[in-house]
Structures are given as structure tokens and as C-alpha cells.
Amino acid sequence: MLFALPALIKILLTFVVILILSRFVPLYAGLFAGSLIVGLWMGMEPLRVLLTILQEVSSGACLWLALVVSLIIALSELLAKSGQLERIVATFQAISPGSRFTLIAMPALIGLLPMPGGALFSAPMVATAAGDARIAPELKVVVNYWFRHIWEPWWPLYPGVILAVSLFGLPTWEWILIQWPLTLGAICGGVLFILPHLPRFPDTKTKASWPAVRRFLSEVRPIIMLVVLLFGIQGLVTALGEFVPALRNRPLHMSFAPALAITIGAVMLQNSLRFGDLRRACFNRGVTSMMMIVFGIMAFKGCLIESHAISQVRSELDAAHVAPWAVAALLPFMAALVTGIAVAFVGTALPLVVSLIPEGHSPIALATLAYGCGFLGMMLSPIHLCLLVSSEYFCAQPLAGYRLMWKPAILCLAWTFAVFAAYRLAFG
């Protein structure tokens, strides 16, 4: 009886089990349990499920991802240890319109760094900007999480964007032009429905001066360096890939790790830190927990894909004669919701969306709808890495922030459909 349930219901029930387990055992344990459940429930042999989990957690992409998350934690620890995080926030406040603006600007700034779990990098900045103000932990989580991702629909360094551009056959500049309105919707949702929950800070605002701007640029230099290195190393690896076949199809996280390592070295030099400080940053207690969460997410994603759960959901929608625009909205949303990773929903759902576009027709309207709905599903996913690491950092329940996110999420959904309708009228 239970095995006859639709794939969509099986996936949703597995989510319920993971969320219940997470209240009694570490989250990564619940994710591994969910991987077993969804694999077996979708008809995989037990040995095949275990091999899939083992292959996922030992894959190059997963290990690079775990390394990147570890380096993010180390960099954040070194910036905090040296006092540079406090200086970044303090110097930004000197040129900021107010403390509330600083709170949302910090994660938005770090959002330009397309690093897995990057919300972990901006979380200490949000905590520092909040100071002694009485702000609920779940509100800090939502501020850090929501504004960290406002650029994701179009920023060309995000792996999901890179893959989507390739699938739809659009130039990168055109993708940026058609997708940036989704960022406008995300900003409006956050400003209208999240910002009002923040307290009024007793600001004594002075006019920003050029010396104050210079001080901020000096303190934020590691972040600027990291962005430049990410662009530079990715471009270099791509160029070398034309001549060195081994560099082709490499994990996208490969360029993140050396960029982070170089930036860590620069932070240590700038702040006169010692090797012992680096060792303590790399082996602090948060590293192991975060790495296990990464392994759990990748294992769960692998079992979903290997068991053909997403393709079964697609077949169920086809059998119900769902309209193409509805498939383009629902499938990426569901794929993103159950994986919490942009690359996963792009890789599993968007190829179907591409196949729905009639020959000779512009892909712009369906591409925007699909990516916008996938982005929203990713933001609402309870296993999105940035949501989990933010919740762990601020000691909040992962689900507690949903009461603050549903209004901006609805606005983003309505805005996405409005942009889709406008593009369909303009481009057909």
C-alpha cells in the first residue's frame, strides 16, 4: 500500500521524517536516514542505496564542497579572531544610512561570493552588526539567509546560473538582463516584510567622508580579493581546459578552494596572525558538524537522483496533462525544495523545461519562470545548506524562520509570474 503512493507523496513524507528526526538526533543523521528511506521506498535494492550514499560522499564534488565549507569556517574564525569582522561592520556603519541597512547589506555583500554555505561567512557580520540589540535568533537567521541570496538568479559566478545558461543556449549577458528583475522582487520582499521586524537602532548618523570610505575598502579588502580570485581562477581553469582535458568537467568548487586558501593567507598577514591561530580555526568544533551536514545533503540528493524520484514526479505531472507553464513552474520548485541546491534543480528539472519550448520560439519566458520558481523552492527548502548553517550559528530551529519568510516568498512568487507574463507577451 505504502509503496503504491505517488513519488511526490513519498518525497514529502520522507521530508517529514527527516524533520522529526532532527529534533532528537543531529541533522546529518536525519539526512542519512532520509537517504535510506527515499532510496528503499522508491524501489532501490538496499546494497544499491548504500553504494549510492558511499559514492556521493566520496565523490570529488562532495569532497571539494566539504573542503570549501571548512575553509569558509576557518576564514570566518580568523576574521573574527583578528577583530576584522568588527572593523568591517564598524567602517561600513560610518558610511551606511543606518544600522538596519548595515544588517541587510552585510549578507548581500557576501552574496556576491558564490560559495556553498556562504551564509556561514556573513552570519558573524550580522551578529556583529546587531550588537546588543534584542533580536530573536530566527530573525537573524532570516536576515542573513534571505539577503544572502538576492543575487542568485543572475549573478554569473553561481554554478546554477552557469549550467542554466548552457541548457537554454542563451548568452550570459542576455541571461543577466532577463533574470535581474527576480532580484528586484527578492529585495522588495525582504524590505517590505523582513526589515520591519528589526528594532529601531539609536543611530547618530554623520555624513560619510572619503577617509571613511577608504577605511571600509581597506577592511573589506579580503572580500574584494576573494571575488577577484574567484573570477580569475575560474577563467584561468576554463581557458586551460581547452588545452588540458583533465581540467574539463572539473568540480566547480575547485576554484573556490584555492581562492579561499589564498585569502586566508592574506588575512593572516594583514592581521599578523600565527600558525596556531590557523590550526585552531581549521579544527574548531563547528567544522566536523558542518562537513557531516554537507555529506548528508549530498547523500540525500544522490538517492533522489539515482532512484529516479524526480523523473517519476515528472511522469506523474505529464500523466495529469498539466500545462507546459505549470510544469515549468512546479518541477523546478519541487526539485529545489527536495534538494536545496540550485545545481540539483537546474540539472534535474530544467532539461525537461527546455524540451517544452517549441522549435523556433524564444526560451526567455519559460526560462525565467522555471528559474524563478526553482530559486523560490530552494529558498524554502528545509535542507538548504545556508539555512541550516545560519540556524546552527544563531542557535535557532531551522523551521522557526518560516513564519517570517512566507510573505516575502509569496511576493516573489507573484512577481515571478508577473515577469513571466510580461516576457511571454514580449517574446512569445
**Residue 249: CB partners within 8 Å, gap ≥ 6?**
none
b vs e for 208-227, b when ≥16 Cβ sit within 10 Å of the residue's Cβ? Answer: eeeebeebbeebbbbbeebb
225 closest CA partner among 182, 268, 254, 166: 268
CB atoms within 10 A of CB 248: 11
What pLDDT is stored for residue 251 in this prediction? 56
What's the CA angle centered on 342, arms 108 and 375, to 5 degrees? 65
Determine contact, residues 190/147, Cβ cutoff 8 Å: yes
Residue 4 is given by DSSP the state G
CB atoms within 10 A of CB 388: 29
Q: How far is 90 from 95, CA to CA, in rounded Å?
A: 9
What pLDDT is stored for residue 366 in this prediction? 94
51 closest CA partner among 284, 302, 258: 302
CA atoms in the 13 A half-sphere facing the CB of 398: 20
Domain extent listing, the chain: 2-199+207-427
Q: How far is 45 from 23, CA to CA, in rounded Å?
A: 29
What cell does 92 get?
Answer: 561600513
Determine contact, residues 306/44, Cβ cutoff 8 Å: yes
278 closest CA partner among 117, 287, 60, 90: 287
Determine contact, residues 126/106, Cβ cutoff 8 Å: yes
**Residue 58: CB partners within 8 Å, gap ≥ 6?**
none
Q: How far is 160 from 131, CA to CA, in rounded Å?
A: 35
**Residue 358: CB partners within 8 Å, gap ≥ 6?**
none
- 290 SS3 class: helix
What pLDDT is stored for residue 76 in this prediction? 77
What pLDDT is stored for residue 333 in this prediction? 92
What cell does 231 get?
Answer: 573570477
Residue with cell 584555492: 258
Residue with cell 514580449: 426
Return per-residue pLDDT of the chain as tens, 428 residues.
566 678 878 877 887 787 678 778 877 888 899 889 989 988 899 999 999 999 989 987 788 878 887 887 788 788 878 888 778 878 887 888 877 888 899 899 888 876 666 787 788 888 888 877 789 999 999 999 999 999 999 987 777 887 788 788 888 789 989 999 999 999 999 999 999 998 877 655 556 688 888 998 998 898 888 888 877 887 787 777 777 776 666 655 567 788 889 999 999 998 988 888 888 888 876 677 778 877 887 888 888 888 888 778 777 777 777 788 888 898 889 888 887 888 778 877 787 788 778 777 889 999 999 999 999 999 999 888 889 889 988 988 878 889 999 999 999 999 999 999 999 999 87
Determine contact, residues 126/139, Cβ cutoff 8 Å: no
270 closest CA partner among 75, 13, 59, 54: 75
CB atoms within 10 A of CB 207: 6
Residue with cell 540556524: 391
Q: How far is 124 from 144, CA to CA, in rounded Å?
A: 10
